[in-house]
Chains A and B, each alone.
Chain A
Amino acid sequence: MRRDFSLITRWVWEGSRVLDLGCGDGTLLKTLAARKHCRIQGVEMDAGEHVAAIRKGVPVVQLDIDADLDMFGENTYDVVLLSRTLQAVKYPDKVLTAMLKIAPIAIVSMPNFGYWKNRLRLLSGRAPISKDLPFQWYESPNVHFGSLKDLETLFESLNLEIDRYVPLAPSGQASWWPKIWRNWAAGAALYELHAR
């Protein structure tokens, strides 16, 4: 299992109602149902991942995260997850706002474009490729290239408060650097947020 998944599993409360946006093959949701007895629901657009999640027994709807989140109503879940997907949606700001209507808590992770290796690669004149950004520029599903600083500025402007934060090393492992280093040291980061 991806290492950030075990962190998320630890953060999610026992028995809570969880909506996972971009749930992939449903691995994380299945774990949350088994270990934390959560009531789970996934959203996944990719056809192959979608049917893989069904095969795991995970309820999963094929919807567009940018367009269809209104469907879930207000406060119908306890927590909404968005794992490494925010950089690939059309309007990250609108998606974040919509998430915190659906549930009081959002758990969000995003790769860090400001990671030092990405910066070096950019200085060398090439688009960054790293463990957290593993795509060639022409085939990347990512359409926004923000750093963690950029992301936190967005949280601030949307009036979202960070309750918990863990920087992730490119291995996916949680790292415990001082917070001030995160924007160059972390390959990605995981945040728990609530609306102020």
Chain B
Amino acid sequence: MPQTSSLGEVTSHDVQVFSPEDPLTLQRGGSLDEVHVRYETYGNLNAARDNAIFIAHALTGDAHSAGFHPGARKPGWWDTMIGPGKPVDTNRFFVITPNILGGCQGTTGPASVNPVTGQSYGLDFPVLDMGDFVTVHRRLMSHLGITKLLATMGGSLGGMQVLQWALSYPQDMTSAVIIAASSRLTAQNIAFSAVAREAIMRDKGFADGHYVEQGTTASTGMSIARMMAHITYLSEDAFAEKFGREPQSSGLSHGFGADFAVESYLRHQAETFLDRFDALSYIYLSRVMDYFDPFADPDSCTLIGQHPMHVLLASFSSDWRFSPAHSQRILGHLVRAGVPTTYKEVASDMGHDSFLMAIPDYLDTVAAFLERRAS
């Protein structure tokens, strides 16, 4: 393995990709007069402009996928994967990560100000579709002057965006890397997602989506949504290994506080989440996942079957949110369409969040795949 290191200090950029003269028309109807995108790039675009890798983030991710923001102690969310000498090697590749449409970390979303009313969109923001994310990603790509990506890549919701993109515009990329994703949520997946939305929307502070104007927050609902979702991101073994039945430092009081270490951990997760995420973004983005079902279209694989692109699919053995069966479903559709596909089920006991972790077998597979695409 080559020496790996961190990217060091990185910063974000902002760009407007749709304007009133050139609005974004959404797949499920409606339009947006203004769309701003926050993104980061790492590494250098080569002269042939063919070494770009586009990273799509998961439900609550952001544009900051690697390196450190000035003064920050924690690196970007995929620092295990992206950096000098890492699988997405910034010494060789030019890496682009935007914040997603509908998000809340710099890209236009439902909590953004509607230029027409001067107030935040709230629930007037149009309903989103996986294809809308792709439309905005493609705009950013052309803004950066790139006509063909070496790879598109993402985990979980990120992988779902990559799948939609690869099916709709395979000519945009040489390869696609789809990790711990799904092509169709199960009833159980939708159920978890529904409870999270209910917790948020039933919180009085949500104020029917007008909390920005009303000066309230749906913090109770958001905390519950995050705590519950976090349970689905880890496996039972991961919880046992991390916390067991350890008491919190103050000991077991037999009261109803955060007596066990796992309770305190979930509370901490909820608190940090409130600082960085928005309630409307959560309900809009999670809803897109519920409806995503690209293979329902019998012609979904026609285009990708005609373009010689390689796909890497990876799943994790203990992932019960998007189990290996979800990845195998995608695999079946792709191989039947004649798409050259590589699939790896990584042995891991860490659950869905494995895709963010430094698991050697997993990182080696991604590194080997990208290495070949570049040569």
Contacts and interface: CB of A to CB of B under 8 A. Distances in A.
A73 B336 contact: yes
B335 A54 contact: no
Contact of A39 (B340, B372, B375): B340
Q: Chain B binding site: helix, strand, loop or mixed by DSSP?
A: helix
A157 to B, nearest CB: 29
A50 B328 contact: no
B372 A57 contact: yes
Nearest to A70: B332
A61 B327 CA distance: 11
A60 B331 CA distance: 11
Contacts of B364: 51
B361 A40 contact: no
Interface residues of A, number: 21
Contact of A41 (B335, B361, B372, B375): B335
B340 A59 contact: yes
Contact of A61 (B335, B368, B369, B375): B335
A34 interface: no
Interface string A52-70: 0011110111110000100
Interface in B50-94: none
Interface of B: 310, 328, 331-332, 335-336, 338, 340-345, 361, 364-365, 368-369, 371-372, 375
Nearest to A68: B328
Contacts of A59: 310, 340-342
A17 interface: yes
B372 A71 contact: no
A69 to B, nearest CB: 11
Q: Chain A binding site: helix, strand, loop or mixed by DSSP?
A: mixed
A47 interface: yes
Interface in A16-69: 17, 39-41, 47, 50-51, 54-57, 59-63, 68
A72 interface: yes
A73 B332 CA distance: 8
Contacts of B368: 51, 54-55
Contact of B344 (A17, A39, A50, A55): A50
A76 interface: yes
12 contacts: A40-B340, A41-B335, A54-B369, A55-B368, A55-B371, A57-B375, A61-B335, A71-B331, A71-B336, A72-B336, A73-B335, A76-B335
A55 B372 contact: yes
Nearest to A33: B340
A60 B341 CA distance: 6
Given A50-B344, A55-B368, A39 B310 contact: no
A60 B342 contact: yes
A161 B365 CA distance: 40
A159 B372 CA distance: 42
A61 B365 contact: no
A94 to B, nearest CB: 18
Contact of A71 (B332, B338, B345): B332
Contacts of A56: 372
